[in-house]
A = this chain, B = another copy of it.
Amino acid sequence: MLPLRQFVAAARSRLSGVRIVLEDLSDPGNRAAILRSVEAFGLLHVHEVRSSRLRVGSTARGRSIVNGAEKWLTLHQHSDIRECLTSLKASQHALLAAVPPGKGRQPLPLESLRFDRPTALLFGSEAWGISSEALELCDATFTVPLPGLSESLNVSVAVAVCVHFAAFRRREALGLAPHEGDLQLEEVEELQESYAERSRENRFAASLRASRARKARDESQALAPVVVEDGERVGETLGF
């Protein structure tokens, strides 16, 4: 269990004025990697739209990469992109759709974006990109300029670069230090209490799983499979 001071620090640093919308992302590995970066850089709200028959399965691979990051985020599930984007628009969010370089109606370079007002960044499915319905509802398109000869980035790398830069610009626009967020004081207090609660629930759930696994093993005299949800994947995350 993480110490309370970490929940306090994390809640204080959260940015609610930069949100991510993921439209029909299909690869659970990409989803998990994205949630991990979004959480690490201090964002809070992620909107997941599953308008098609796509369903992201909670595979062991996905769980391992997300590394428990998901439980520190506020995930909003939507079955309709129009409902998602119009509600964000109603709460005064600028809507910016990420497109590959050279595509769309003259996309703005990421580096030129300002984040003085609350903003949602929309990323599309790996195979089909952003739907035309979503594009119509957005205020503008933007891209990560790639002056090299490689014409694309992996979607999880692209989202990480965008989220890092957006968080940097948001803090710059509001005059915040790298570890300060944009939540109101009462929201910060609510969030840190919620974090402590989620951590206890998680601990309880983990001990329940372990005890069930022990029981099953004792009964069958065979090794029961144990999924480590919070484990670090050595060889993937260290060393940087």
Residue in B closest to A150 when the chains form the complex, CB atoms: B40
From residue A238, how far is it (CB to closest CB) to chain B in Å?
6
CB-CB under 8 A for A178 and B235, given A13-B148, A158-B240, A240-B158: no
- The yes or no answer to A168 lying at the interface (CB within 8 A) is yes
Interface residues of A in 86-137 (CB under 8 A from B): 98-100, 109, 111, 123-130
In contact, A37 and B157 (Cβ under 8 angstroms): yes
Q: How far is the CA of A211 from the CA of B173 in the complex (A)?
A: 58
Q: A residues within 8 Å of B by Cβ?
A: 2, 6-7, 9-10, 13-14, 26-27, 30, 33, 36-37, 39-43, 65, 67-69, 72, 98-100, 109, 111, 123-130, 144-161, 164-165, 168, 178-179, 181, 195, 232, 234-240
| A-B contacts, 19 listed (Cβ < 8 Å) | A9-B147, A10-B147, A13-B147, A13-B148, A26-B235, A27-B235, A37-B157, A40-B146, A40-B148, A43-B148, A65-B154, A124-B240, A126-B234, A126-B236, A126-B239, A155-B236, A160-B161, A164-B164, A164-B165
